[in-house]
Amino acid sequence: MRLSPFSITVLVILVLALVLFSVQNARPLSSGQKTTVSSNPSSTNNQISRIKNLTYEYIYAPGSSTPEAVAQMISVSEIKTNATSSSVKYNSPFGIHILYNGYFGFDTGKYNSSAFLQKTKNLYYFGYRSTGAKNLLVYGSVANFTKYFILKNTSMTVPSGLSPANYLQETVYLSPTINASGKTWYFCGGIFVSYLNNTHSDTAFNTLNFNGTDVYNSSILNYVSNDCTGVKVT
């Protein structure tokens, strides 16, 4: 039997659809938030391969409910705590590690000479959100964070074995207060990238109040990783 080009094409489509179906089944999509608590430091390859389940959200939309900015360069690769179990006691500090991945730089548009990048300032920040909350809440600023957690220390390092051009790891040490106890808290990595530029005068963002500091002519970008880590405070 001689098959027409049409029949062959339809057969090819069916075969490809089958392949897609099987590939998809082999790697199921993440369904919502996943709780990962781990105290074991992962290896480099493991860290890279665990870049997954990322989503992006908008947070800063002054005077409007529409998204005003979206990060396009940086993602949160991984977030985990160093607590030995999924629960911690109040007043006992625990650390959260967030691995950021991406190209740390900006596309500043048309006349983006390299000199332009001098005016760029990147701020990497960590935040939290409670279950079901839509947006990331920034500690000490938007939410009454200190009521629940006390920030002990943060550090930003280049994870060993990874390129500093593309990876950064932030470690945040938090101590839960008694108010936090009895609840499970979901911590998600967040990135705010503030772009300072004094050559563009007519941007939509004139002033940004960030942690009590005014940042002029900036757009702020926010990421929250979908792969949050959950900690039950007892």
Residues between 172 and 211 that touch another protein (CB under 8 A): 197, 200-205
CB of 169 or CB of 219, closer to another protein? 219
Q: Which of 62, 65, 69 is nearest to 222 (CA)?
A: 69
The residue (of 27 and 134) whose beta carbon lies closer to another protein is 27
The 126-155 contact track toward another protein, x by CB under 8 A, reads: ------------------------------
The closest alpha carbon to 187, from 111, 112, 82, belongs to 82
With CB under 8 A as the contact rule, which of the stretches 34-42, 65-73, 79-87, 127-135 interacts with another protein?
A: 65-73
Q: Using only the alpha carbons of the chain, give its radius of gyration.
A: 22
Out of 41, 43, 52, 209, point to the residue binding another protein (CB under 8 A). 52
Nearer to another protein, 17 or 178 (CB): 17
Rounded-to-10 torsion of CA 106, 137, 172, 182: -160
User: Could you tell me which stretch among 54-62, 91-99, 134-142, 145-153 binds another protein (CB under 8 A)?
Assistant: 54-62
CA-to-CA distance for 21 and 106, rounded, in angstroms?
Answer: 37
Side chain identity at residue 133, one-letter code? A
Question: Residue 91 to residues 14, 88, 137, 153: CA-CA distances in angstroms?
Answer: 59, 9, 21, 14
Q: Which part of the chain contacts another protein (CB under 8 A), choosing from 34-42, 52-60, 82-90, 137-145?
A: 52-60
From candidates 101, 169, 194, 222, binder to another protein by CB under 8 A: 101
